[in-house]
A and B are shown apart, each in its own frame.
Chain A
Amino acid sequence: MAIEGAELIRAAALLGAGIAMGLGAIGPGIGEGFTGGKACEAIGKNPEEANLLTRTMLIGQAVSESTGIYSLVIALLLIFVV
């Protein structure tokens, strides 16, 4: 079975999309989880500041999410545009 050029490119793009999103999900998952853990510790130590601490946690997690979103965008580009 001969694999033609265009077919090979498309197959490689799809495999790349899966690898991109798969590996790209690892970092934000661990990082945001660490942030959440430290936020729970912070609130345990100082419950009165819960609102400020939760807000800081969410902002920090949103920034950590950025590489995950890059991976999602590249994966979708590889599937639909390339």
Chain B
Amino acid sequence: MSFDLGGYISGAAYLGAGISIGFGAIGAALGMGYTAGFADRAISDRPDRSGDIFKNMLIGQAMTETAAIFALVVAILLLFLKFGTDNMLTPYALLGAGICMGFGALGSGLGSGFPSAYACQGMARQPAVTSRLTTDMLIGAAVCQTPAIFALVVSFILIFAIPQGVSFSPYWAALLGAGFSTGLAGIGSGIGGGMAGGASCEGIARQPDSGRAATITMLLGQAVAQTPAIFGLLVSFVLLFGSYPPAEDIIMPISLLSAGICMGLGGIGPGIGNGLTAKEAVSWVSRNIYEAGLITRTMLIAQAVSQSTAIYSLVVALVLIFVI
């Protein structure tokens, strides 16, 4: 069997395209369905507000869709771009791009559904704050897209800027690892950020006077929840742009791949956990606005502690990259 690089490149591109849109479709669809369900319930509570609620549902679903559109763009690029057969790293880069975008879109899509859903619910509960709910929904959903944007950036680097003229090993593992790192770590941050955004919309509907405090707490909570995605991006950049000596054996490549998987998986839990904390914090800031400072401080302490396993994963990943 002769070695046909063109065949491997096409195979990796098609597999990557499938993974990209396959996983990318899950999150956004779940999020949009969640939004539609809450919107339906809201319209049944207040049929006279159905126009505004329906409009808000469509706007919110459009925001949620962006993550899946990113995944679709990467899949179509992988399907139809012509890749040169001069670089043996190309199959691994393309597969890594698909994995990265697929998982990166998963969390953001799912998370963006929460602000939209609770905004629709809030419009039935408190019609007077309809426009503020739309604004808050857009802010929350926009921050929630951050992991999908990180994943898109890394995917584009893997598709369009494959390292040239470097040794095959260990770079094949570095490129695959970079895809895993940003892609998987984005799952938790996307979901977590979305939970915080949802709580903010719910809180403003419950207590419109708490709008400013709830939004500030939401932004703080979402910012901390994005930290695992930032760690994932950092490890991806180290893997993509670092220079590694040619490896004769399999130890260095597996070490780099393991670093990417480690940081990727390690970002999932803390991202979701930070979101759970932020969700309750925002919810109770809107119920007890006088204690907003105390609740926000407690949220930050709790988020710092639950961030710890993401930091362990970052340390282990960096050890695997630099010490082995």
Contacts and interface: CB of A to CB of B under 8 A. Distances in A.
A50 B290 CA distance: 14
B306 A8 contact: no
Interface in B250-294: 250-251, 254-255, 257-281, 283-285, 287-288, 290-291, 294
Given A37-B277, A38-B280, A61-B302, A18 B317 contact: yes
A19 B265 contact: yes
Chain A contact patch, size range? 35 or more
B291 A44 contact: yes
B284 A41 contact: yes
B265 A23 contact: yes
Interface SS of A by simple majority? helix
Contacts of B271: 29
B272 A40 contact: no
A15 B254 contact: yes
A36 B262 contact: no
B18 interface: no
A68 B309 contact: yes
Interface string B295-323: 10011011101111110110011011001
Given A29-B270, A44-B288, A11 B251 contact: yes
Given A29-B268, A33-B275, A68 B316 contact: no
Interface in A31-82: 31-41, 43-45, 47, 50, 53-54, 57-58, 61-62, 65, 68, 71-72, 75-76, 79
A12 B249 CA distance: 13
B291 A14 contact: no
A37 B291 CA distance: 15
Interface of A: 3-4, 7-8, 10-12, 14-15, 17-19, 21-41, 43-45, 47, 50, 53-54, 57-58, 61-62, 65, 68, 71-72, 75-76, 79
11 contacts: A11-B255, A17-B258, A18-B258, A18-B316, A29-B271, A36-B276, A41-B280, A44-B284, A44-B285, A45-B284, A50-B294
Interface of B: 184, 188, 192, 249-251, 254-255, 257-281, 283-285, 287-288, 290-291, 294-295, 298-299, 301-303, 305-310, 312-313, 316-317, 319-320, 323-324
